[in-house]
């Protein structure tokens, strides 16, 4: 569906908005803004990871669609609450793979060992992301030493400690974040929504 049709179709306002923001063509200014937004911390982190690569040749649920303070350019879409794991069962810096919001969407959950933006759980250190690169959809792997997600196809790097922000490489979008809830009554972690657009989809349709 082209943008004009998406904009005029009932019930597809969010799709059309995503399509316009996440379409195949990236405006130069958008790419420039993404690159110049890299902080000194993220720059140093990317540099360290790049050096290693050269030597070795890598919240809460929201009701309705809305943008978030963590990633104001991304629209959040809610999904059915899905139990993923017990918080106590997660080991620090050991990713847990799962699928959400459907079997074709590959994700990883991480316990980072210290409170991070958007983190949930008893220590506020548990986050989750889609592990399809936002550049061309290649699978990402987690580098335990650098504590980043890395794309083996075109070497994009994402920082899970900073909302999945793009740190280096050809990607121009942050990783879609899987929003989590923690139920302290039984220690269960639930996936409840997706923040951002999963690669290859116009509006994260189930």
Instruction: Give the residue numbers annotated as catalytic, written as ranges.
Output: 135, 154
Closest by Cα among 183, 129, 159 to 58: 159
Question: 136-148 in b/e burial notation, b at 16+ Cβ within 10 A?
Answer: eebebebeeebbb
Residue 128 and residue 119: Cα distance in Å, rounded? 9
Q: What is the DSSP letter of 160?
A: G
Q: Does residue 5 contact residue 13 with C-beta atoms inside 8 Å?
A: no
Read off φ and ψ for residue 187, nearest 5 degrees: 70, 20
Closest by Cα among 68, 69, 34, 17 to 156: 34
Query: For the chain, first and last CA: distance in Å?
Result: 17
């Amino acid at each position: 569906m082209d943008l004009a049709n998406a904009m005029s179709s009932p019930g597809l306002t969010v799709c059309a908005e995503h399509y316009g923001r996440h379409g195949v063509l990236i405006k130069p200014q958008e790419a420039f803004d993404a690159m110049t937004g890299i902080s000194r911390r993220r720059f140093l982190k990317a540099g360290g990871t790049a050096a290693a690569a050269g030597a070795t040749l890598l919240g809460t649920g929201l009701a309705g669609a809305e943008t978030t303070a963590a990633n104001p350019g991304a629209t959040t879409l809610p999904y059915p609450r899905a139990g993923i794991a017990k918080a106590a069962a997660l080991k620090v810096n050991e990713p847990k793979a799962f699928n959400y919001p459907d079997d074709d969407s590959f994700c990883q959950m991480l316990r980072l060992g210290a409170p991070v933006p958007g983190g949930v759980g008893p220590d506020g250190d548990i986050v989750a992301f889609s592990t399809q690169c936002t550049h061309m959809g290649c699978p990402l792997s987690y580098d335990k030493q650098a504590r980043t997600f890395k794309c083996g196809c075109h070497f994009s790097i994402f920082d899970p400690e900073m909302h999945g922000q793009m740190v280096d490489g050809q990607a121009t979008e942050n990783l879609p974040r899987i929003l989590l809830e923690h139920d302290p009554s039984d220690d269960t972690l639930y996936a409840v929504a997706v923040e951002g657009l999963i690669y290859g989809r116009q509006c994260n349709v189930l």
